[in-house]
Each structure stands twice: as structure tokens, then as C-alpha cells.
């Protein structure tokens, strides 16, 4: 097995984490249950002492079409899939515009925008080397209990790509901050918004060191310079405690803490 040294303070979207060797997986037989799978590192907060980490290699970075079935490897970047969909007039992928990372990462957390989620369009997922129908997987808002490591995904193809829809969905995210972050810090509670709750308890803009809840959108934990793991955790725990004390709502992290 090959290893690659990755500096997560540069590689991860929140710009926090150690420089550490990561196993590069080029065959499904190399997958390990006790390793944490890192994709594009766009929704993770890596601690100074993480568990063993692995990453899918180039073998899992592909796109194919067979009999109106689109198959993609989970190492594929979301931007490449969007470009392919536009070039081939394939519908239903417009929502992934400006959602960074890999397809595997999107699948693992059922990523999306509003009612547009990736599980809405999935046919089946290759998990630990076996194809599994998506209806046999427990999934919901921002989660998917895969029960293993996803390496590829298949979609039924529908034609009719829409730039208009893509632009509408991008506008929905105009309120997101530009500073380094890991996306939404918390999942929205049913019938409410995590950002509203964080703002309601006075934590919008709250800063600890170089970490802060964004002044632009309270549910984004942003790195204002050289933020570190401990300060990020402090703010996450503070928000959970304050919101629970004030509203009786237990916020659940959307960001993955490794």
C-alpha cells in the first residue's frame, strides 16, 4: 500500500489539521474498517491526533455511461461531474454546482441544497465491493448509513441540463461566507434553522482565537487566520450548550470531527 503525506492545514477546506501520512487506496481489497476515509476534506475537522486515514486513489476517479446508466467513481471531484453533465445535457446534477469535494463525500453525508439531495437521484452504490440498491440503505437529511466504504455510484440518466436551475441554486448560497470553513457546522433541526438558533443565543460572530461563527451566516464556523482544533471544538460545544439551555434543542454536528 502506498502512503502520501498530506498537510490538512492546507488541504482541508477549514485549513486545520496536522501533516500526516494517509493511505492511498487503489484496490477495494485494501479498504480497512479501522481507517477513516478522507475525500476532499470539505466537511471534516481533523484533530492533532486523528485515527489512521485513507483516501481513494485514481482508480476510483472516473465517469462512464452504459445503457442510460451513469457510473462515477467516488474519488471524482464534484466539479468534473457537473461539467460532464452539462456537456452531455444530463439533468439533475445542477445542484452540485459550487458544492466542493468528491462524489464519495457527497454520498456519505447525502449532501445537497434545500430539497435537492444526492440520494434523490442515486440508483445504487458500490459498498465494500458490492452493489447495493439505494432503497436498502438508511439515509435522510444529511446522513447515510452506508455500513461500509462507498467506491462508486450509479445514476439513471435523464436528459435536459438547465443552466437556469443551476444559477438559481447557486443564488441560494449567496449568504455563505468566503473564509475557510467546513460548510454548515450543524444540521438544521426539524422545522428550524441552526443558524437562527446560534444567532438567537448571541453567538453570531463569536470568536475564540482565529475561529469564529461567521458574521455573514451564524451556522458557519470560519477560520480567520491560523485557527486551531481546540478553539473550533470550544465554539461548537459552546453553541450546543447555549442553544440547549435556551431552547431545549440539541444541535447535531454536520461537520465530521476526526
Q: Is the dihedral of CA 234, 235, 236, 240 positive or negative?
A: positive
Residue 179 is among the residues annotated as catalytic for this protein:
no
Q: Which of 9, 184, 214, 242 is catalytic?
A: 184
How far apart are alpha carbons 113 and 172 in whole angstroms? 8
Q: Which of 47, 142, 158, 199 is catalytic?
A: 142
Phi and psi of 109, rounded to 5°? -120, 15
- Grid cell of 54 as nine digits: 485513507
Residue 254 is among the residues annotated as catalytic for this protein:
yes
Residue 184 is among the residues annotated as catalytic for this protein:
yes
Contacts of 137 (CB under 8 A, 6+ apart): 119, 125, 144, 145, 146, 147
Question: Rounded to the nearest 5 degrees, what angle is found at the Cα of 176, between the Cα atoms of 120 and 145?
Answer: 35
- Grid cell of 209 as nine digits: 482565537
Q: Which of 94, 117, 253, 254 is catalytic?
A: 254
Residues noted as catalytic: 142, 184, 254
Amino acid at each position: 500500500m502506498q502512503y502520501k503525506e498530506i498537510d490538512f492545514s492546507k488541504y482541508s477546506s477549514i485549513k486545520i489539521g496536522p501533516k500526516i501520512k494517509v493511505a492511498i487506496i487503489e484496490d477495494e481489497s485494501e479498504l480497512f474498517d479501522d481507517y477513516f476515509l478522507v475525500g476532499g476534506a470539505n466537511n471534516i475537522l481533523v484533530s492533532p491526533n486523528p485515527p489512521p486515514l485513507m483516501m481513494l486513489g485514481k482508480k476510483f476517479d472516473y465517469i462512464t455511461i452504459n445503457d442510460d446508466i451513469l457510473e462515477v467513481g467516488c474519488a471524482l471531484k464534484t466539479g468534473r461531474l457537473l461539467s460532464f453533465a452539462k456537456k452531455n445535457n444530463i439533468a439533475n446534477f445542477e445542484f452540485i454546482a459550487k458544492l466542493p469535494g468528491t462524489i464519495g463525500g457527497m454520498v456519505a453525508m447525502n449532501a445537497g441544497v434545500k430539497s435537492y439531495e444526492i440520494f434523490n437521484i442515486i440508483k445504487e452504490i458500490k459498498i465494500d465491493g458490492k452493489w447495493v440498491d439505494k432503497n436498502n440503505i438508511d439515509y435522510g437529511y444529511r446522513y447515510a448509513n452506508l455500513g461500509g466504504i462507498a467506491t462508486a455510484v450509479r445514476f439513471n440518466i435523464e436528459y435536459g441540463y438547465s443552466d437556469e436551475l443551476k444559477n438559481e441554486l447557486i443564488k441560494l448560497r449567496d449568504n455563505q461566507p468566503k473564509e475557510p470553513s467546513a460548510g454548515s457546522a450543524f444540521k438544521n433541526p426539524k422545522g428550524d434553522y441552526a443558524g437562527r438558533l446560534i444567532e438567537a443565543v448571541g453567538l453570531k460572530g463569536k470568536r475564540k482565537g482565529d475561529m469564529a461563527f461567521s458574521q455573514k451566516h451564524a451556522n458557519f464556523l470560519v477560520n480567520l487566520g491560523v485557527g486551531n482544533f481546540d478553539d473550533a471544538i470550544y465554539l461548537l460545544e459552546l453553541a450546543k450548550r447555549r442553544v440547549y439551555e435556551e431552547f431545549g434543542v440539541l444541535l447535531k454536528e454536520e461537520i465530521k470531527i476526526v
